[in-house]
Amino acid sequence: MRFMSSGRCAFLVSAAVALAGCSSNADSEAGDAAPEAALAVEDAENAQTDTSRSKNDLYVSGPERSGQLELNATNLTYLYHRMSGEPASLARMMTKPLGMRFDNEFARRRFLEENFDEFTDLVDEAVAAKTYLVELNGRLEDYDFDREGFPIHGLFDRTMVSFSASESGSEGLDFALALEGTGEMSFLPMSPEEAEILSNSRNSRSVDLEVAFTPIEAGWEQVRSDQQRVVRAKAYRVRVLSRDGSEIGKITSEAQPSNAPLRLYVDNPFAKAKLTNPWSADNAPEAVLDRYAWIIDERWQMSNYSDGDKVDEAMSLNGSSAGGCVDQFGYSECQRISERRSDFIARCTQSVPEQRKRDCYSIRHLPYTRQEADAL
């Protein structure tokens, strides 16, 4: 089976309402309290803000940009992971959108190996577009005779567009696109004569809004009461369309869009080596710490993160969400994984070098994944 011929359309699925999140292991062992307290003191003494130089060392310039990409739940996931560097559930992301089922682990592995290059071509396309587009629902409000135009409902100073993580096979928090600058394009200028003709020709004020934007950065952000994985973007053009696709008008920002390559995380989460399962590696504790350093070191914090946002707080916000451990695996299996994770943390503290022991306790706050469930 060819991956592209059977799967390209299946991978490029429609955006869905955000439903899922990820969970944390709420259980903690009393015996951990003393060493964790001591390590917390050590962390407080050593903590400091990363310099811009060290932050920049984590990123590289992406490929030259060309063409256009209409955003959906799947290619947003690719864009997010490649820009942020967050570990990706590669095998699940390659198979779940296609509804793939395998007779055994050998057939599954063969599919992953044979189709991996074509999968990463889709990832590369997601980070190399010159023009990024997303379509929103909107509405023309009552005509403003003083300003001569229609205010547009659906565009705000920072317009948030949510996408379900499950569409792409990604495990963890849901996704959101944060469109900045759309508020300044929330008014459609039009003469009274043209506006009256438009109003008389339409039964509804509902419109589609095609927003062109440039991605800026990606990471975790609190959206209302939940954490989401967010791609921050700068909007620079809005096309107002009727429901049949014809253009009613176009609004452009004064700022010119950037055509520079996107800023990508230096450690590519879609590298083929990441297909391996760190939970079952020969030196599993260090392999897990290495794979999830992005979360443990809180590299998920974007430039606008709020003081006090910590990985345990971020994960606990989603403990009861649809994508949490219980909802993903069921109560009994989740309880088993939770207990095995506690054992794994104890094993970690006994086997890793002294300077990494404090990171072992952060494992309890990692998202639950199928790789962990299969290995423990």
Burial of 290 (0-12, 13-18, 19+ CB in 10 A): middle
Q: How far apart are CA 327 and CA 206, in angstroms?
A: 36
Q: What is the mean pLDDT of the chain?
A: 82
Q: Rounded to the nearest 5°, which phi and psi values hold at 84?
A: -85, -35
With CA atoms as reference, report the closest residue to 65 among 270, 269, 258: 258
Q: What is the pTM assigned to this prediction?
A: 0.80
Q: How far apart are CA 304 and CA 325, in angstroms?
A: 29
**Range of the structural domain that residue 246 is part of:** 3-375
Number of domains into which the chain is organized: 1
Terminal Cα distance for the chain, rounded: 31
Radius of gyration of the chain (CA): 23
| Strand locations in the chain (E) | 59-61, 68-70, 131-140, 149-153, 158-163, 175-180, 187-189, 206-223, 226-241, 247-252, 263-265
Contact between 122 and 75 under an 8 Å Cβ cutoff? The reply is: yes
Task: Give the count of beta carbons closer than 10 Å to the beta carbon of residue 105.
Answer: 9
Query: What's residue 95's pLDDT?
Result: 93
Query: What's residue 376's pLDDT?
Result: 79
- Stretches where the chain sits below pLDDT 50 are 1-53, 307-308, 317-323
